[in-house]
Structure 1
């Protein structure tokens, strides 16, 4: 099976449509496929979802870092979302034909290349033994890193610096499983009350496993937002999280009026919510048509790929050069690069 990775880079620019166009063009040019791209002016943040082969994803993330380095100046950046970098977060997610080891090795190579641009890099999540969290790394924001790195928070790759890059800050790169990034629009409740809801929902506050939650006031949109990440979504019940949030908001006199998913919608959200609402029997991911279709196509594609590569190599001089080159590219993309030998 040809290995496929997903990446979901978050950029600290959400008010310039030209930036989002440029970054998606450059990532596409690097060989990745952009599946989704969105910006939010209150968050002052853009999120891009892309998939591709291992090398394509790595090239695309570095291309995005280069665009952000040129275009974003964090000294003038003000938004409600926590951030420490122009390319703030670059998660690498294993999909078809890969596992977490592949994602970790890929994230390591991306970190090395981003640091070579002069931008310090923190590794996080599955790329660190302690599964370091973004919340810990972003505490105090970009401003807390301008005059030097806090004690105990030195970057894994310092890019030859003793503090953050003056305009591009620090980038967080890590391997992680799929997560659900979603925002709940809330009305009829005060900001302080919503902050209490977020605090009680968070795993770190004794709430639900895998939940990261922030209460945000969106001045431009004129609304309050409960912004959440549900980590390792395939192991969680998104509907139960929504019900808990809805109950807690209602207990304080408010209500949820809309739900926004950032990026693509994970199967787990649809399957488990549908199963819960419909009391569906046998609700297993292996019964999803999309899951079985992908497996079927991957098996067929793998066999066809081997046939094509073997034929082209056997034909050698008799094969058109472009056919032989295409076969070799396919063969190369179906083999995963080895993990790095050096450790951060």
Structure 2
């Protein structure tokens, strides 16, 4: 790899209610050469998302450390939340930024997954560009049944067993999905009124798997007691963000509902903002300096104290 290579890692953890636990997990990622770009927690989704970047080796080590700390602190048998999950360190994606190919990011994911199993006894499923099997490319296929369903299925069905470790999941930390992918944008839109049935109908019509927009994954959920369309935009070059916002607005209007505020989880690439950035104006307090990856690389944030 290029000596100036930069890779991003955006691990998601199944804890958003206990700030102390989240801070400990984030702090465990403090490794020389790794920059902390963003972290946030959501109590209703019971989920936290962290964004780090740096040279591939240190970033991999930081992600492995975090998986171990999450396994120590999070007990999935007592955890509930809006967001689907299979593990304490639920998803660990590696994203090439500069001087790293997607294939190299996939190799890094494979190495990280092996170490997570060896060090902490947490089984791993590889997904995205790191998938070892074609039926595990899509994260939602890996996560089918969530922790409770996968815990049973991995013992009874050989096709559901982890790629590394197992066949049983870790008793309290479940399993981790470790992968490599291009940029993904986690974008949520609240509905100003209506109920979860409207959010679900809008999500069904917009997501690619139902014949909607290319590169869009969507669910209708209740978040903070309000209906929300929660989305992952897996290819903003195919489906720009302003088009996603307009489509959700039009579909909601068909149900007699207007849109509330938007929400971004984590960072976005500069190119995703686009010439038509009115969609971002619907996000309270949106600050390009704080939410655009290329800018944050030059202005990382401090690691949290515990």
Q: Give TM-score scaled by structure 2 length.
A: 0.86
Distance change (3 Å), C-alpha of 1:225 and 1:99: same
Distance change (3 Å), C-alpha of 1:291 and 1:81: closer
CA offset at residue 36 of structure 1?
0.4
Q: Distance in 2 between matches of 1:234 and 1:51?
A: 22
The answer (yes or no) to whether the contact 1:20–1:37 under 8 Å persists in 2 is: no
Larger deviation, residues 31-40 vs 43-52: 31-40
- Work out whether 1:83 is the aligned partner of 2:85: yes
CA offset at residue 26 of structure 1?
1.4
1:44 match: 46
The 5 Å alignment of 1:305-324 reads none
The answer (yes or no) to whether the contact 1:126–1:176 under 8 Å persists in 2 is: yes
1:307 match: none
DSSP-derived class of the 1:90 partner: strand
The answer (yes or no) to whether the contact 1:39–1:47 under 8 Å persists in 2 is: yes
Q: Distance in 2 between matches of 1:32 and 1:118?
A: 25
1:286 match: none
- Moved segments of 4+, more than 3 Å: 274-277
- Aligned counterpart for 1:203 among listed residues 196, 205, 208: 208
1:194 match: 199
Structure with the higher fraction of residues in helix conformation? 1
TM-superposition CA deviations, 1:191-250 (whole Å, max 9, x none) = 1122111011110000000000011112xx221111000002244311111101110011
TM-superposition CA deviations, 1:78-97 (whole Å, max 9, x none) = 00100000000000000011
- Aligned counterpart for 1:134 among listed residues 132, 139, 148: 139
Aligned CA RMSD, in angstroms, stands at: 2.2
CA offset at residue 153 of structure 1?
1.8
2:286 match: none
1:27 match: 29
TM-superposition CA deviations, 1:31-54 (whole Å, max 9, x none) = 421110000011000000000101
The answer (yes or no) to whether the contact 1:3–1:97 under 8 Å persists in 2 is: yes
2:258 match: 255
- Aligned counterpart for 1:7 among listed residues 6, 9, 14: 9
- Aligned counterpart for 1:144 among listed residues 146, 149, 157: 149
The answer (yes or no) to whether the contact 1:6–1:93 under 8 Å persists in 2 is: yes
1:157 match: 164
Larger deviation, residues 266-275 vs 221-230: 266-275
Larger deviation, residues 77-86 vs 230-239: 230-239
CA offset at residue 148 of structure 1?
4.4
Structure with higher Rg: it is 1
Q: Distance in 2 between matches of 1:268 and 1:199?
A: 27
Structure 1: gaps (5+ residues): 278-289, 298-344
DSSP-derived class of the 2:63 partner: helix
Q: Give TM-score scaled by structure 1 length.
A: 0.76
